[in-house]
């Protein structure tokens, strides 16, 4: 028996999924324990020169109504029509694997519930960290731990820009232009440089680790567009690297505090040496103390690798994986306001730059009225 799956979208990631599948088809089938093939590729565009041109369709219903298709790889991006298509597939019992971080961050609770109700799976390893395996370890390998915090670099574009500012004395604008020239940043880079991409990823991690859906609107998010070359140089002279850090931690009062913001990372912290487009995520747990996951956080084949890993898992699981789930949330009362975020702070004002001796809350540091105010990651 051969398992048939479909790919929604033939952009960078979708084309990578098809390319990597046929490149490694024999080994993928061995790991899945069955023969596999791509039956459909959904895209509104024409690809007359593609070696897989006979597999293309412009009608989603071809996939939805074909009982031979038992697994789907969603690589379209955005919330709609991806949400409508994915929900419909799950309600037909077709497992879905996605790289779509925006979809999971906004609608993950609904889609997980649909998968559970119809004995299939909604997998999203590729939505956080590209090729870095972080979702599966959080709910499988580290399941015996009480996880208290997760933090790291979850956006390769901003990390590339900050690396160029630090290593080559580039201004923010020049580093951004280079990132766009090299294809690391979009023509409209807002989602990356203002932290929205990292926010969606920490929402997914927070939801999975702490069991309730965390929406992007509930997470304080600040990007790197206000980081100056002076800040980067000052931080270096004090023994720190500036990084865009997405983090979540459980506080003593039981609430969680997710946030995305530039932070100063001391040079004795391994994350300070994660450069260019690479990502790194640290996880704190009572059994493991601290572990780190590191690798390429984006790119055609790295992301396709994660999507296909989930497709293989879909083929191997005939029932829902309940450990990869979380509850819906009607409000954000379980989330601590960012005003209570506590740290030492880098301050730059008319008197110069310094690191505060004492820990202050976000509200207290903001009240200082400094030209630049960045927390320190301890």
Sign of CA dihedral 293, 295, 297, 298: negative
Of 279, 277, 296, 308, which is closest to residue 14 (Cα–Cα)?
308
| Known catalytic membership, residue 201 | yes
**Euclidean distance between the first and the last CA atom of the chain, given in angstroms as a whole number:** 54
Catalytic pick among 55, 201, 222, 316 = 201
Give the DSSP H or E segment for 332. Answer: none
Q: Do 307 and 17 contact (CB within 8 A), yes or no?
A: yes
Give the DSSP H or E segment for 4. Answer: strand 2-8
Helix (H, G, I), strand (E, B) or coil at 243: strand
DSSP designation for 225? T
DSSP designation for 185? S
Q: Do 172 and 228 contact (CB within 8 A), yes or no?
A: yes
Q: What angle do CA 276, 311, 65 make, to 5 degrees?
A: 130
Sheet holding 345-349, edge to edge: 352-355, 345-349, 372-375
Active-site amino acid positions: 201
């Amino acid at each position: 028996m051969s398992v048939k799956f479909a790919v929604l979208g033939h952009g960078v990631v979708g084309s990578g999924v098809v390319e990597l599948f046929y490149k490694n088809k024999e080994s993928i089938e061995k790991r899945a324990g069955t023969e596999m093939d791509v039956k459909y590729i959904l895209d509104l565009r024409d690809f007359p020169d593609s070696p897989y041109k006979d597999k293309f369709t412009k009608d989603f219903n071809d996939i939805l109504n074909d009982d031979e298709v038992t697994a789907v790889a969603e690589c379209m991006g955005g919330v709609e029509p991806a949400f409508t298509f994915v929900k419909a597939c799950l309600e037909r019992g077709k497992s879905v694997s996605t790289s779509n971080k925006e979809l999971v961050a906004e609608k993950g609770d609904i889609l997980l519930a649909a998968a559970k109700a119809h004995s299939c799976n909604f997998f999203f390893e590729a939505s956080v960290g590209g090729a870095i395996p972080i979702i599966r370890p959080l709910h499988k390998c580290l399941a015996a731990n009480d996880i208290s915090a997760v933090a790291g670099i979850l956006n390769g574009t901003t990390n590339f820009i900050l690396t160029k500012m630090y290593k080559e004395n580039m201004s923010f604008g020049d580093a951004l232009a280079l990132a766009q020239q090299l294809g690391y940043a979009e023509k409209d880079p807002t989602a990356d440089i203002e932290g929205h991409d990292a926010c969606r990823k920490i929402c997914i991690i927070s939801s999975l680790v702490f069991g309730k859906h965390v929406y992007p609107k509930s997470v304080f998010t600040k990007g790197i567009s206000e980081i100056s070359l002076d800040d980067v140089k000052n931080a270096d002279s004090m023994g720190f690297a500036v990084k865009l850090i997405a983090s979540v931690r459980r506080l003593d009062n039981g609430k969680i505090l997710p946030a995305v913001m530039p932070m100063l990372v001391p040079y004795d912290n391994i994350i300070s040496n994660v450069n260019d487009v690479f990502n790194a995520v640290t996880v704190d747990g009572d059994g493991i103390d601290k572990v780190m996951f590191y690798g390429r956080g984006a790119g055609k084949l790295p992301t396709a690798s994660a999507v296909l890993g989930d497709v293989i898992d879909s083929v191997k699981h005939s029932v829902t994986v309940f450990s990869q789930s979380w509850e819906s949330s009607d409000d954000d009362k379980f989330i601590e306001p960012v005003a209570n975020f506590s740290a030492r702070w880098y301050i730059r004002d008319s008197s110069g730059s310094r690191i505060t001796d004492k820990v202050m809350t976000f509200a207290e540091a903001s009240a200082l009225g400094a030209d630049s105010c960045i927390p320190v990651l301890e």
